[in-house]
Amino acid sequence: MATEAHSGEMIIKDHAKYLGFQTGPKSGEHQWTEALKKFAERTNDLKVLNLPLRLAINRFNFKIVPVLGYIAQLALPPPNIIRFELTAILKALGFAGNSMTCHTAYTIDGLLGFSPVRPSVYMESCMIRGAVKTFVNIEEMQSELCCTAENSLALSSAYRNIIPPGWDSPAFCTNISNASKVSGLRHASMQSNGISSAISLWKLGGVKGSLQKLVSNTLHKNISMDTSLWVTIIQEKLEILAPGQDILFSEQMLSDLFTVVRKAPPPRANLLPENCDQLLGNIV
């Protein structure tokens, strides 16, 4: 338990900050409070600036998302991260709330030619970099933790969950140990082969530059290439805009639309290519 001196009294707390990280039995629910608050404040500031999309996304990628990186080295993303990162990007870009899903919001590369960094992807890349490059003897720490759990807890509890009763989150060494094996992370676990290959190539010196950037780019590339949900969301919007009409939006239409929009002049020109009007006319 953490203690805190206050007015001559000793206050016993179930969590406390150490080197920027919350520690203690109930540290999990407080781990991201300050970082997410700072992230939200910078997002609100970006919304007020009302920048063009390209500048807004650049600022989001390089000035806002990185504030989550320090805690992400040791702690898993918060449970509500999907809703949080969707709200953040819609607000940062000035889009209407619930105008698109989290997946489509972070896969607009095909539409614009550039896309925002997804915070959860960035957070996972920070932990993987730390697990592979920064933290040493993690497996030894994890092994000692498992042995302690087996010796101290009932076997049924120890083998099912090594988190002691009363603690609300896994140990840091457990998170890092899992990350070193590309497991326990939402995005990376679904792309474990690609991430493992990238890490192996980096270790052999086949790739120059930052390991974290390599992992992040690998994750982002695979995610941004998946535009399947765009077809679904546009189909749903068309059914709302044109109820009762038998409209089928296809993958080919999506590809054509992306191509036309990317070739469109800057918004200040207030013009679209002639074939864009024709394409949209064919859709609706």
- Mean pLDDT confidence for 248-272: 69
Amino acid at position 180, single letter: S
Q: Which two tokens stand for residue 279?
A: 């394409």
Q: DSSP secondary structure string, 228-256?
A: HHHHHHHHHHHHHHSTT------HHHHHH
Tell me the per-residue pLDDT of 155-213, one tens digit each, with 9 for 90 and over. 555 555 677 778 889 999 999 999 999 988 999 999 899 999 999 999 888 888 899 99
Indicate the pTM of the whole model.
Answer: 0.80
Highest mean pLDDT among 31-35, 204-208, 225-229: 31-35
Tell me the per-residue pLDDT of 206-224, one tens digit each, with 9 for 90 and over. 888 899 999 998 988 877 7
CB-based contact 170:163 (threshold 8 Å): yes
Tell me the per-residue pLDDT of 121-150, one tens digit each, with 9 for 90 and over. 999 999 999 999 988 888 888 888 888 877
Q: What is the Cα–Cα distance from 246 to 68, expressed in whole angstroms?
A: 45
Output 19 or 231, whichever has higher pLDDT: 19
In this structure, the number of other CB atoms found within 10 A of the CB of residue 257 comes to: 19
CB-based contact 87:78 (threshold 8 Å): no
β-partners of residue 267 are: none
In this structure, the number of other CB atoms found within 10 A of the CB of residue 244 comes to: 6
Amino acid at position 124, single letter: E
Q: What is the Cα–Cα distance from 3 to 13, expressed in whole angstroms?
A: 6
C-alpha Rg value of the chain to the nearest Å: 23
Q: Which two tokens stand for residue 235?
A: 């189909």
Q: DSSP secondary structure string, 181-214?
A: TT-S-HHHHHTHHHHHHHHHHHHTT-S-S-HHHH
pLDDT given for residue 234 in this prediction = 82
